A and B are shown apart, each in its own frame.
Chain A
Amino acid sequence: MTYAQEIRSRYFKAQRKLVEAKQLDDRSVLLSFPLHYSGYTRVEFSVTRMDESNYLLSDFGQTFGELHDSGYRVVPSLKQRILEITKIWRVSLAGECIVRTCLDKELGTAIHEFAEALKTIGDAYLAYPRTGERDIEEEDEVKQKIRLTLNKRHLRYKEGRTILGKIGEHKLDFYVSPNGQPGLALAIQLSPDRVHAEAWEFKANDIKRSVPPNKGIVVGVVYDPSATKNFSRKIIDSVVDISLPSTEIDSFDQKLDAHGVKAVVQ
């Protein structure tokens, strides 16, 4: 036996132990592979003989289940993207299941490719924690509290407005025009990293330097203290007028008082 043959032989010997097969019934077998969805769970799927020469491979909904359990919304656009990623392996969708049909003569290759397709989906989607949906919900909650405070103070505000700084344009979540009184430029940055915090250092200065339209404007940033590292927090604290942790949103009213942001006619 050559060295190459020996290595190959040892690899296949190990695979025999690592790959498990459980017979489900006369026609179906459950296969469990030593491949993991980004280190979480093993790739498993069933192989069912449909007739003399055709087989059906199905993950019985496990892959989308993994995505759902990790916080993804399994919507049609996500499914479509997954099909695009895996089209080289000729998989398709049947409800929540990823499936592939194959002929008897290509079964071995199809099993290998199907396992690779499922593993690829896991790597593409599960390698990084899903936080987007949670951020959107929390942002909505924060925005609602900001609206309540501004309405209570009879302040006229605009949402999603872009204003001009001295150098560039800056998109804000809430904007109250100065109109003879201190105005407000407020952004919600729930989990700002260092780059975003530094960007706000520039934005805050640029907005304030753009006199006269922004003269006397109060710049504020709302952030989630549990998702913001101390360094980013210190940058924000040092550059904006109102640095507001989302857990202390109830103090927004007092902070507006402290900076003299109030309606012209109460």
Chain B
Amino acid sequence: MMRAVAHPSVTEPTVKELLKARKVIRRTVRSNWGTNTEASRIEVVYDVRRIASPHENIGLRLTAWLPLATGGTPPYPSVSLLWHGERIRCVDWKWREDVIKDNLVTGIVRRWHEHQWTDTDHGRFVVSANHFVKNPDFWGLMRVCLKRWKIADSTRQMRLGE
């Protein structure tokens, strides 16, 4: 199924420019890290802004998620970057994921992979992430994504995770 029309600001060139720009976690929008020992998941959402204009809300959110009780299957965290509600980057795990380019399945990747926004395929284009996801626990994956997406951490929550 094709997705709806993207937010007008979200295009391949603007996404590339945004990812190249240095950014910072401005505040925690939502987090249950360390607050609820009986929670069935860990989830955090951060408000990310450009370092050059930290007071301007650009609608950029970094989210991370980990289900804790999965019934015997290993739990896999995922981290994504949403811009105006569009998932412009996401690193997660699947046994198999189809690589879609220009609306055609051009191959497959296995295990860790990164969804990358393109004008044609939105987040359906994926590349393998196995070479850079070496420590796939919740905070390990978060740190890898922060570095890869040029986001500096200025929150206490992140330091707690180290």
A residues whose Cβ falls under 8 Å from a Cβ of B: 20, 22, 24-25, 28, 30, 32, 34, 36, 38-42, 44, 46, 48, 56, 58, 60-61, 64-65, 68-71, 73-74, 94-97, 99, 123, 126-132, 134, 137-138, 141, 226-227, 229, 247
Determine if A48 and B100 form an interchain contact, defined as CB atoms under 8 angstroms apart: no
Chain B contacts with A in 66-84, Cβ cutoff 8 A? 67-76, 78, 80, 82, 84
Determine if A129 and B86 form an interchain contact, defined as CB atoms under 8 angstroms apart: yes
Distance, CA A25 to CA B71, complexed state (A): 13
| Interface residues as binary, B75-104 with A (CB distance below 8 Å gives 1, 0 otherwise) | 110101010111100101011111010000
Distance, CA A64 to CA B57, complexed state (A): 27
User: Among the listed A28, A39, A131, which residue makes an inter-chain contact with B3, where contact means beta carbons less than 8 Å apart?
Assistant: A39
A-B contact pairs, 15 of them (CB 8 A): A20-B95, A28-B72, A30-B73, A30-B95, A38-B1, A60-B70, A60-B75, A71-B61, A94-B69, A95-B41, A129-B85, A129-B86, A134-B82, A134-B84, A138-B57
User: Among the listed A24, A41, A69, A227, which residue makes an inter-chain contact with B73, where contact means beta carbons less than 8 Å apart?
Assistant: A24
A159 CB to closest chain B CB (Å) equals 20
Chain B contacts for A129, CB-based, 8 A: 3-4, 6-7, 84-86
A237 CB to closest chain B CB (Å) equals 17
Chain A contacts for B68, CB-based, 8 A: 95-96
Determine if B86 and A39 form an interchain contact, defined as CB atoms under 8 angstroms apart: no
Chain A contacts for B7, CB-based, 8 A: 129, 131, 226-227
Chain B contacts with A in 97-144, Cβ cutoff 8 A? 97-98, 100, 115, 121-124
Determine if B9 and A227 form an interchain contact, defined as CB atoms under 8 angstroms apart: yes
Chain A contacts for B74, CB-based, 8 A: 60
Chain A contacts for B82, CB-based, 8 A: 69-71, 130, 134
Determine if B40 and A96 form an interchain contact, defined as CB atoms under 8 angstroms apart: yes
User: Among the listed A20, A48, A64, A71, which residue makes an inter-chain contact with B67, where contact means beta carbons less than 8 Å apart?
Assistant: A64
Determine if A69 and B92 form an interchain contact, defined as CB atoms under 8 angstroms apart: yes
A259 CB to closest chain B CB (Å) equals 26
Chain A contacts for B80, CB-based, 8 A: 69-70
With A65-B78, A96-B40, A96-B69 as contacts: A39 and B100 at CB distance below 8 Å: yes
Determine if B78 and A28 form an interchain contact, defined as CB atoms under 8 angstroms apart: no
B162 within 8 A of A: no
With A39-B100, A131-B84, A137-B57 as contacts: A227 and B69 at CB distance below 8 Å: no
A119 CB to closest chain B CB (Å) equals 9
Chain B contacts for A61, CB-based, 8 A: 41, 67, 70, 75
Chain A contacts for B76, CB-based, 8 A: 60
Determine if A95 and B67 form an interchain contact, defined as CB atoms under 8 angstroms apart: yes
Determine if A226 and B84 form an interchain contact, defined as CB atoms under 8 angstroms apart: yes
B52 within 8 A of A: no
Determine if B90 and A69 form an interchain contact, defined as CB atoms under 8 angstroms apart: yes
With A22-B95, A60-B73, A68-B65 as contacts: A227 and B100 at CB distance below 8 Å: no
Distance, CA A251 to CA B7, complexed state (A): 26
Distance, CA A123 to CA B4, complexed state (A): 12
Determine if A123 and B1 form an interchain contact, defined as CB atoms under 8 angstroms apart: yes
With A65-B78, A247-B56 as contacts: A128 and B3 at CB distance below 8 Å: yes
Pick from B1, B7, B56, B121 the residue with the most CB of A within 10 Å: B1
With A69-B65, A70-B87 as contacts: A48 and B71 at CB distance below 8 Å: yes
Determine if B3 and A38 form an interchain contact, defined as CB atoms under 8 angstroms apart: yes
User: Among the listed A28, A65, A131, which residue makes an inter-chain contact with B85, where contact means beta carbons less than 8 Å apart?
Assistant: A131
Chain B contacts for A42, CB-based, 8 A: 94, 96-98
Determine if B123 and A40 form an interchain contact, defined as CB atoms under 8 angstroms apart: yes
User: Among the listed A32, A34, A39, A132, which residue makes an inter-chain contact with B124, where contact means beta carbons less than 8 Å apart?
Assistant: A39
Chain B contacts for A38, CB-based, 8 A: 1, 3
Distance, CA A28 to CA B72, complexed state (A): 8
Distance, CA A99 to CA B69, complexed state (A): 12
Chain B contacts for A127, CB-based, 8 A: 1, 3-4
Chain B contacts for A60, CB-based, 8 A: 67, 70-71, 73-76
